[in-house]
Amino acid sequence: MPGTIYELEAVFFDQDGVLVDSEGAWDAARRAIVTENGGRWKPEATRAMMGMSAPEWSRYVRDELGVALEPEEISGRVVERLLAGYERSLPLLPGAVEAVKRVAARWPIGLASSANREVIDAVLAASGLAGVFGATVSGEEVGHGKPAPDIYLEAARRLGVDPAHSAAVEDSTNGLRAAAAAGMLVVALPNREFPPTNAALGLAAVVLGSLEELTPEALEAGNVT
């Protein structure tokens, strides 16, 4: 998808799969809760929940996977298990901290993550990036999770920038679709474990092979028709 020539005002990052190698950890935590509480995992469940907000995926676990708990309880148990693992070892992706700081030296940056607020705060604190982002938004704080554009529109509002003059770095099908729906320049860092569809990748102006490739020059090059 070709870019548009304009002055970028800000760059937004997803968290899971972009900064943290966590999709597998989320998947394992959800599977454990399903198994421990009499539910039944479905083959399509992992991809179905990628990008969903906590209220959305916890309802999915209850309604589609047969866990007889209220969504708030499901979410709390999954997050507790996930954070216990993060306390032992935070799975930052190689080059994540450096990439964030490199981009932040050129533009204001924000975080738009489907993760629960406590997970976002824990990751940013442990990585030393808590003071680098000018705005952070959790999927819990907007009406609809990805692929709806809500989270990116809210992040842009909090940072005080025009979404159409912003870029978003995403790894998944639903994340790429959300960034595109918000009118942002879409930067794809394809998730290797759960790769996005070709159709979603087609929305990206820039496709990166690693975080080492995420530079101001790469973003500016993508912002050209």
Annotated catalytic sites, by residue?
A: 14, 16
**Cα 207 from Cα 209, distance rounded (Å):** 7
Residue with tokens 């938004």: 137
Distances in Å between the Cα of 85 and the Cα atoms of 29, 72, 80, 155, 219 are 10, 20, 9, 28, 33
Residue with tokens 């916890």: 58
**Cα 216 from Cα 104, distance rounded (Å):** 9
Whether residue 166 contacts residue 12, with contact meaning beta carbons closer than 8 Å, is answered with yes
Within 10 angstroms of residue 2's Cβ, the number of other Cβ atoms is 9
Residue 196 preceded by cis peptide, ω within 30: no
**Cα 127 from Cα 149, distance rounded (Å):** 27
Q: Which two tokens stand for residue 68?
A: 């007889």
DSSP H or E segment with residue 168: strand 166-170
